[in-house]
Structure 1
Amino acid sequence: MKNIAVIGAGTMGNGIAHTFAQFGYQVQLIDISESALNKAITIISKNLDRMIAKEKITPNEKVKTLANITTHTSIKEGVKYANLVVEAATENKNLKLKIFKELSEICSEDTILATNTSSISITEIAAATNKPERVIGMHFMNPVPIMKLVEIISGYNTANSVMETIVALTKKINKIPVEVNDYPGFVANRILMPMINESIETLYNKVAGVVEIDTVMKLGMAHPMGPLQLADFIGLDVCLSILNVMYEGFKNPKYAPCPLLVNMVNANKLGVKSGEGFYDYSENKKAQKVAKMFA
């Protein structure tokens, strides 16, 4: 396996591309937006500079990593020689189904099709293709170059050989694969998102403020980041999407998104990506409370 195509140049996509390229794979990074691709390469370059500053890689390794990445605005061109395609587009089921249907029609018969979805059924995604046995989940954690975990999820029809190949590949890029079953949210988000949602409910019910809730969880539970700050980092729209998938999948009210989360997403207060969420990120104020919301 030498050529790996990554669809989506956002936070997860550029992190996945960075990681594979750093380990010597030829990476084709694909996005419909040329500006998104340029931004992704800039981010990867800056992240590599941070690794150089920490003496984790050499300047020459940075040059080799960037040389391993090519960019494409056409899926058909980008996946032409791919042994593996990793889809890292927006967490939108209809979009993913459309992408996988197209991939199954244009990729070679032996290409493995992986999705970085954090909650959507692998079986359902695979059903949109003509080769469900070649479809698998690879749920990387953010930031991808740093976080070790990759949840590996087989669909109902995923071939054992595909699972074995992806587990082995994950180890080759110095990650730790954990095999989990295909249920909404898998393991990571089935546990994490209800905690984040309950933290938002706690704020919504005025039990405590943003900083106070995060401080309790950091100091009392030894979390490196409070749940509200983490939600901002993930993206409140992504959190809402994952909760909706789990609520729809389990029909259990404990997964119903808090009204405050819904309202914030509707108001485009999405966290770091929009400059404001539970904290204000304008002018690099990364820990300023959004006072106007809870005056």
Structure 2
Amino acid sequence: MTVTQLGVVGGGLMGSGIAEVAARRGIDVVVVEATDDAAKAALGRIERSIARGLRSSKLSEAEAEAALGRISVTSDLEALGDRDAVIEAVIEDEATKLAVFAKLDHVVTRADALLASNTSSIPIMKLAMATQRPEYVIGIHFFNPVPVMPLVELVPSLLTSEATQERAHAFAADQLGKHVIKAKDRAGFIVNALLIPYILSAVRMLESGFATAEDIDTGMVDGCAHPMGPLALADLIGLDTTMAVAESLYEEFKEPLFAPPPLLSRMCEAGLLGRKSGRGFYRYDEPSAPKGGS
């Protein structure tokens, strides 16, 4: 069954990116945010991204106008009642996501609607059990920035039906044009289970005084051909999100390599969250700040 009416809960970087990609592919999209002001900010985020696509000739004026015409934003969750698929893209906090799924279970009236999460680490089974229809709940994990990054992780729970998996795969691959990989329902899935220990290792190296942030990142970019060093990447992801994923992984596996280093905890407590706050391992108002990735 083709998705023609998509709902997105959360209009931050990920949610707005998902909405944009879907609208550019001809899908009607409703984005729901917590407040009217947040909804306006989400629309502005989408408009700026589409404008960048227009300037870089990735979109024609007609395509940009058509995409924007397919997107509406609101603070009313009831607007998702008629959707045939809804993707949750709120902050990486288990309690918040559970509350969203419990509400969606009552709001979305279509009995066969896909209920998906963009979580990067929280087990899908936990989210599915907040609903009365776990067979329709699945993880569809996009990567930032969504309009650019080609990958999607598809994560079924033990109770996700085969039909739901097929529909979700067709939506991500055929309708959105993403490259889909399938992951088991374990915290972190494939990418973050590999990526987060790597980033945490770099944080520990910095914390111990072994090397500077610049030298750590240069080592991985110039020595291993990575497009971005681990500390610059953490700043791009958001140190709070990195912390949340690490905590989820540690809770699930109890492996020391998943435990957040004290430096990461202190930076989050200080509000030094990376690019989005203007300062993380680098200051983003300085000429020497890492470029790329945004």
1:26 alignment partner, one of 18, 28, 32: 28
The question of whether the paired residues in 2 share the 8 Å contact of 1:105 and 1:130 is answered with no
Rounded to whole Å, the distance in 2 between the matches of 1:68 and 1:56 is 18
Normalised by the size of structure 2, how large is the TM-score?
A: 0.95
The question of whether the paired residues in 2 share the 8 Å contact of 1:246 and 1:255 is answered with yes
Residue 81 in 1 paired to residue 82 in 2? yes
Rounded to whole Å, the distance in 1 between the matches of 2:289 and 2:130 is 44
1:249-277 deviation per Cα after TM superposition (whole angstroms, max 9, x unaligned)? 00111111111000100111001111110
Partner of 1:36: 38
Matching residue's letter, 2:203: I
Partner of 1:195: 198
Partner of 2:103: 102
1:210 alignment partner, one of 203, 213, 217: 213
Say which SS state the counterpart of residue 198 (structure 2) adopts: helix
Partner of 1:261: 264
Normalised by the size of structure 1, how large is the TM-score?
A: 0.95
Partner of 1:237: 240
Partner of 1:116: 118
Partner of 1:292: none
Matching residue's letter, 2:103: E
Report deviation, 1:287.
Answer: 3.4
Residue 152 in 1 paired to residue 154 in 2? yes
Partner of 2:8: 6
Partner of 2:165: 163
Report deviation, 1:286.
Answer: 6.0
Matching residue's letter, 1:183: R
Report deviation, 1:55.
Answer: 1.8
1:274 alignment partner, one of 268, 274, 277: 277
Rounded to whole Å, the distance in 2 between the matches of 1:103 and 1:200 is 38
Partner of 1:222: 225
Change beyond 3 A, Cα 1:112–1:33 = same
Matching residue's letter, 1:104: D
1:89-138 deviation per Cα after TM superposition (whole angstroms, max 9, x unaligned)? 00000011111011112212111100000000001110111000000000
Say which SS state the counterpart of residue 167 (structure 2) adopts: helix
Total equivalences in the alignment: 286
Partner of 2:140: 138
Rounded to whole Å, the distance in 1 between the matches of 2:55 and 2:140 is 30
Report deviation, 1:56.
Answer: 1.6
Rounded to whole Å, the distance in 1 between the matches of 2:287 and 2:243 is 22
Question: Any gaps of 5 or more consecutive residues in structure 2?
Answer: none
Say which SS state the counterpart of residue 189 (structure 2) adopts: coil
Matching residue's letter, 1:91: E
The question of whether the paired residues in 1 share the 8 Å contact of 2:200 and 2:257 is answered with no
Say which SS state the counterpart of residue 81 (structure 2) adopts: coil
Say which SS state the counterpart of residue 152 (structure 2) adopts: strand
1:15-48 deviation per Cα after TM superposition (whole angstroms, max 9, x unaligned)? 0000000101000000012222222222222222
Rounded to whole Å, the distance in 1 between the matches of 2:236 and 2:54 is 24
Rounded to whole Å, the distance in 2 between the matches of 1:33 and 1:210 is 38
Root-mean-square deviation (CA), in Å?
1.1
Rounded to whole Å, the distance in 2 between the matches of 1:243 and 1:257 is 6
Question: Any gaps of 5 or more consecutive residues in structure 1?
Answer: 290-295
Partner of 1:182: 185
1:184-214 deviation per Cα after TM superposition (whole angstroms, max 9, x unaligned)? 1000100000000000000001111111111
Partner of 2:18: 16
- Percent identity reads 37
The question of whether the paired residues in 2 share the 8 Å contact of 1:112 and 1:134 is answered with yes
1:250 alignment partner, one of 250, 253, 266: 253
Report deviation, 1:279.
Answer: 0.7
1:142-198 deviation per Cα after TM superposition (whole angstroms, max 9, x unaligned)? 000011000000011000000000101111211111111101100010000000000
